[in-house]
């Protein structure tokens, strides 16, 4: 992600327009190649040395330098730096400063009896190096090895010049979205699998959102931006930014955002569409599952082998008031009874009211809601829900879920919602 001083934009009629760079322009491709070479050859060098080489190559100051530093920031985010020292730097500093203080005290006491001798820095360092069984050069290297500029590049996740330019342009758009109050996204004409992927990414990134539309007409996502919240705006803002690469995988989308931009957070707008040509760096391979849910799934499969549990691949239309994408679909192996499961953590608070209102009217015949106790939801707020509720603290209890599921197998069987 780009820091605020690296975000290059212009304002046109109250609209913030990022100054993307042309991925096909020879100058930017050559610039990207030069920066990549610095990082490839910089493994083992200090961060300070790499930054000095960037300054030497591209100069300092000016608007162009802002782009160079932005490209370098992208590469830095793909790099792993480490503190290289045989002994922790804080230990070395303590020994050196203590030895220096002792030496100055000795000099002061000697000066009271005879001529004051000079402070011998090299002698102090040599004595500490001998005590720590280090070479003098290693002692000096390790003395401040934990400072940022002294960190050494351990490894670098390489990429092509074109990929670097593409990643920079996406980072520029992401940085603008960190200033969003509200975001509206229209996606049309996509395959069902793509829609399911978008819904799952919205849930995975725990974004507060509302969805309208249908599979045939397309969907409109209304997402709360980080500046609409009263707390945790930085963390939530990063989640909003991380959703953008998933959206860029769509062929036909339009995003519009209401911003509070600049030092005074003045009202501005931002627009992005598929025709802008931003290229996602996200591999088109589905979505990840939070670690706590992975642990829950593994435990459930151990305690309830009679049930098949799989991540949902269905989108359930809730009348004309949006859709529901449950987390899991559970199928009883012997009877074929199927049940949908939704796990509502504290981040899903805004979704609960809509779900409790619409599921009784438009939902599937069998479902279970697992609700975090951190949401502090009382029974009255659950409205007319027909499905059972599973309360949990950290992760849902697999054994308790299995017991709830068994109640469905004793009921008169109705046909599955999806076959």
113-135 residue pLDDT tens: 666 677 778 888 888 888 888 88
Task: Cite the beta strand spans of 188-252 per DSSP E.
Answer: 209-214, 218-224
30-59 residue pLDDT tens: 999 999 999 999 998 988 899 889 888 887
Instruction: Describe the crossing of helices 63-77 and 47-58 by its angle, rounded to 10 degrees.
Output: 150
Of residues 404, 399, 376, 402, the one with CA closest to residue 389: 404
Q: What is the pLDDT of residue 111?
A: 67
Return the DSSP state at 4. G
* Least confidently predicted of 64-68, 158-162, 201-205, 236-240: 201-205
The pLDDT confidence band at residue 310, using thresholds 50, 70 and 90, is confident
Is the pLDDT at 405 greater than 90? The verdict is yes
Mean pLDDT for 79-102 is 83
Mean pLDDT for 200-222 is 80
Task: Cite the beta strand spans of 234-337 per DSSP E.
Answer: 253-261, 266-273, 307-311, 316-317, 323-324, 328-332
Mean pLDDT for 238-247 is 88
Counting other chains too, the contacts that 97-105 makes at CB distance below 8 Å and 24 or more residues apart are 99/124, 99/127, 99/128, 100/124
Instruction: Please state, for a pLDDT cut of 70, what percent of the chain lies above it.
Output: 88
Return the DSSP state at 412. P
* Least confidently predicted of 13-17, 171-175, 414-418: 414-418
252-304 residue pLDDT tens: 999 999 998 888 889 999 999 999 999 998 876 555 566 777 888 999 999 99
Mean pLDDT for 306-315 is 83
Identify the CATH class of 291-409.
alpha beta
Domain 178-285 is of which CATH architecture? 2-Layer Sandwich (3.30)
Q: What angle do CA 389, 343, 345 make, to 5 degrees?
A: 105
């Amino acid at each position: 992600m780009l820091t605020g001083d690296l975000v290059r934009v212009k304002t046109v009629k109250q609209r913030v327009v990022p100054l993307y760079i042309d991925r096909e322009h020879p100058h930017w491709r050559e610039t990207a190649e030069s920066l990549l070479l610095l990082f490839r050859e910089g493994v083992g060098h200090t961060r300070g040395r790499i930054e000095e080489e960037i300054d030497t190559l591209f100069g300092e100051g000016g608007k162009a330098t802002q782009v160079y530093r932005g490209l370098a920031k992208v590469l830095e985010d793909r790099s792993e730096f480490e503190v290289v020292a045989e002994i922790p730097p804080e230990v070395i500093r303590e020994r050196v400063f203590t030895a220096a203080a002792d030496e100055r005290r000795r000099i002061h006491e000697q000066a009271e009896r005879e001529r004051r001798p000079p402070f011998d820095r090299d002698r102090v360092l040599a004595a500490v190096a001998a005590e720590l069984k280090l070479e003098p050069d290693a002692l000096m290297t390790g003395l401040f090895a934990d400072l940022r500029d002294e960190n050494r590049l351990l490894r670098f996740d390489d990429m092509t010049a074109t990929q670097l330019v593409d990643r920079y342009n996406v980072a520029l758009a992401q940085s603008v979205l960190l200033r969003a109050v509200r975001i509206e996204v229209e996606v049309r004409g996509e395959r069902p699998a793509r829609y399911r992927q978008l819904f799952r990414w919205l849930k995975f990134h725990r974004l507060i959102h509302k969805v309208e539309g249908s599979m045939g007409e397309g969907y409109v996502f209304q997402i709360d931006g980080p500046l609409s919240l009263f707390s945790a705006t930085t963390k939530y803002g990063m989640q909003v930014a991380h959703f953008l690469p998933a959206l860029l995988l769509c062929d036909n989308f339009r995003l519009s955002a209401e911003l509070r931009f600049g030092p005074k957070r003045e009202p501005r707008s931002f627009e992005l569409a598929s025709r802008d040509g931003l290229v996602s760096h996200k591999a088109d391979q589905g979505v990840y599952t939070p670690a706590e849910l992975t642990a829950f799934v593994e435990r459930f499969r151990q305690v309830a082998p009679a049930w098949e549990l799989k991540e949902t691949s269905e989108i359930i239309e809730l009348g004309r008031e949006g859709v529901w994408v449950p987390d899991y679909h559970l199928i009883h192996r012997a009877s074929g009874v199927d049940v949908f499961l939704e796990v509502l953590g504290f981040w899903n608070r805004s979704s609960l009211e809509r779900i409790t209102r619409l599921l009784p009217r438009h939902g599937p015949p069998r479902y279970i809601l697992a609700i975090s106790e951190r949401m502090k939801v009382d029974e009255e707020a659950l409205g007319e829900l027909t499905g059972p509720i599973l309360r949990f603290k950290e992760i849902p209890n697999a054994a308790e879920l299995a017991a709830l599921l068994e109640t469905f197998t004793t009921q008169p069987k109705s046909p599955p919602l999806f076959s």
